[in-house]
Chains A and B, each alone.
Chain A
Amino acid sequence: MQQHRTGPAWGQEEKLIPLSHTILLSAVLFAVGTVGFLVRRSAVMMLVCVEIMLNAANIAFIAFARHHLSMAGHIWVFVVITVAAGEAAIGLALIVALARERGTIQVDELRSLKG
């Protein structure tokens, strides 16, 4: 993958949206996802929070790809979307299995394995 370092330098203003703004958005999203994961008790919501974290990284990739004028970042995002879909499917499948067996998807009630 060839790199052309011709984009504006780190932190420099761009025409439309500056890089720093996008990165800030990505960081905020990442924090939202993390905090959400830590405070929500529903397994589904926690899974959603994981998706938010992944998408935070996606935004950063896109921004950096634009910054470096490299396609690698774009390709990466597609891969991540695919993987995230798989992860969500598996997570939901396990949640359904658990809901059938235990009748709950609250993670604070999943404490048969501990110590």
Chain B
Amino acid sequence: MPTLESLPHVLPEVALAVTAAALFVLEALWQPRGRARRVGFPLLALGGLLAALLFLVASPSSAEPRFFGGLLTQDPFSTFVRGVAIVATALAVGLALGSPSLPSNRRVEYHGLLVLLALGMCLLSSAGHLLMIYVAIEIVSLTSYLLAGFDDRGGRSAEAGLKYVLFGGVASGVMLFGFSLLFGLFGDLSLSGLGQALAHSTTLSTGAGRWATLLALVFVLAGLGFKIAAVPFHMWCPDVYEGAPTPFTALLSVGPKAAGFAVLLRFGTGLWPELATDAAAATSALPWLLLLGVMSTVTMTVGNLAAIWQDNLKRLLAYSSIAHAGYMLMGVVAGGREGPGAVAVYLAVYLIMNIGAFAVVSAVDRSAHSEDIGVYHGLGRRAPLLALAMAVFLLSLTGLPPTAGFVGKLYLFASLIHHGGFWYVLLAVVGVLNSVVSLYFYARVLRAMFLESAAGEPAPVSLANSAAALAVVLAVPTLALGIFWQPLAAIANFSGSLF
């Protein structure tokens, strides 16, 4: 679809771009003080996000899913992931209200960057062209680098930002080189064009052509793996999560990961269209699926094993989020309609429970000024509601019924098992084993909260802040969706298709 006719379909992105621009311009021209600054700008950001969400829900359906000459592809899956990205950003705006980890004189920039990040994530989740993928990844990355280094209360945040920028630079450089190879091999940059070229080329199955194709694929995987924090491209993740301001870490652990999964799925189904209908028939995609399967196994195992030793809750959650990327990769491997559906369900569940867990960390951090597991001792008695919410999130992250996390895991495992085949079932078994291991470190936090007493006189944990309120609010759907999971089933049905 040409440019002008495409515009009505990207109104959410337009709304986000306008909001971001408005935030930066108003800050520069007006420089408001007091209440307008504290409340007005977050409200403006929230308004923009809400508008984007409304446009997204009301976006016109179109017979032709490709816009701007193939740069963007919109399908139910991308619509869903864009929704996840926008909601996650809105939650991050809520978390940031009154957070001490953000310098008060730069709050407006923070919100502008958040909205810009949301724009990048939306573009990334519907990118159907290598150039669009690159640009969208860079929008997400560049804003993330800035936001990770936003806390100016000490060197940790800046260190996190610098590590992120360096590692991200290399990862995107490697991916870029992979793109250039793909371009050289096939002479095309759109995913659909690459898919056609790949299907019709015979010389690529042997010799130097095969060599170069595999090299390109592995290099591309580096960039995408970096975005979803999959092993071995995950090493930035714990350091950045720990150093970045907590409200942003919450978003970072969910939004870019969701967009990364969208682009990973789209890249796979773009190059091998048969993956979207029947993964079993896609023998030409075998190297890609093998890579992803091994990556899934290694990712969840490394994430869970490394989490066992963590005493810093943010770091623990960082490793846990690495492990969850491994779980979601299982759905990508399963393919078909069921695989993406399962990934979508898991993303929805993960959005709620992971941001919820970070909200608790943020709330505790505000009064205890620490993320160490030590300050969680006796939280069950000092702030029962908050501790209860945390317990729900942790059980959900483990995947124990009756929480939403269990339903998400069930969908992922089921997608593999329904697919059948020895390696697929084996991958599911590895996933199960990993869930069992993960209980070990999640339960450690539970234990600290409910069974151990705090040493000395701990600071009282205040519930009167946005983070605690959000945590309690998010605990409700985490539990409710575990019991009434029709909405999740609807998500699986709706967003299982990619084209």
A residues adjacent to B (C-beta < 8 A): 1, 3, 5, 23, 26, 30, 33-34, 37, 43, 46-47, 50, 53-54, 56-57, 60-61, 63-65, 67-68, 70, 72-73, 75-76, 79-80, 83, 86-87, 90-91, 93-95, 97-98, 101-102, 107, 110, 112-115
Contact = CB atoms under 8 A, between A and B. Distances in A.
B131 A3 contact: no
B27 interface: no
A75 B131 contact: yes
Interface of B: 69-70, 131, 134-135, 138, 141-142, 145-146, 149, 152, 154-156, 158-163, 165-166, 169-170, 172-174, 176-177, 179-181, 183-184, 187-190, 193, 238-239, 242-243, 309-310, 315
Given A87-B142, A91-B166, A94-B162, A1 B173 contact: no
A104 B3 CA distance: 49
A7 to B, nearest CB: 9
Contacts, number: 140
A113 B159 contact: yes
Contacts of B173: 30, 33, 50, 53-54, 56-57
Nearest to B166: A46
A83 B176 CA distance: 12
A90 B145 contact: yes
A38 to B, nearest CB: 9
A98 B155 contact: yes
Leading 5 A-B pairs by shortest Cβ distance? A53-B173, A50-B169, A64-B184, A60-B180, A113-B239
Contacts of A87: 138, 141-142, 145, 165, 169
A57 B166 CA distance: 17
Given A97-B158, A114-B239, A72 B163 contact: no
Contact of B180 (A57, A75, A86, A110): A57
Contacts of A57: 173, 176-177, 179-180
A83 B140 CA distance: 12
A64 B155 contact: no
A110 B189 contact: no
B165 A72 contact: no
Contacts of A37: 166, 170
Given A64-B184, A72-B189, A90-B145, A54 B135 contact: no
Contacts of B138: 83, 86-87
A1 B184 contact: no
B131 A43 contact: no
B155 A101 contact: yes
Contact of B131 (A33, A46, A56, A79): A79
Contact of B134 (A34, A60, A67, A79): A79
B393 to A, nearest CB: 23
Given A56-B177, A76-B131, A34 B155 contact: no
Contacts of B154: 101
A5 B187 contact: yes
A75 B189 CA distance: 12
A52 to B, nearest CB: 9
A50 B170 contact: yes
Nearest to A89: B142
B166 A64 contact: no
Contacts of B180: 26, 57, 60-61, 64
Given A50-B173, A60-B180, A113-B160, A3 B166 contact: no
A5 B185 CA distance: 12
B220 to A, nearest CB: 12
A23 B184 contact: yes
A101 to B, nearest CB: 4
B183 A110 contact: no
Nearest to A76: B131
A15 to B, nearest CB: 19
Contacts of B243: 113
B3 to A, nearest CB: 13
A102 B315 CA distance: 23
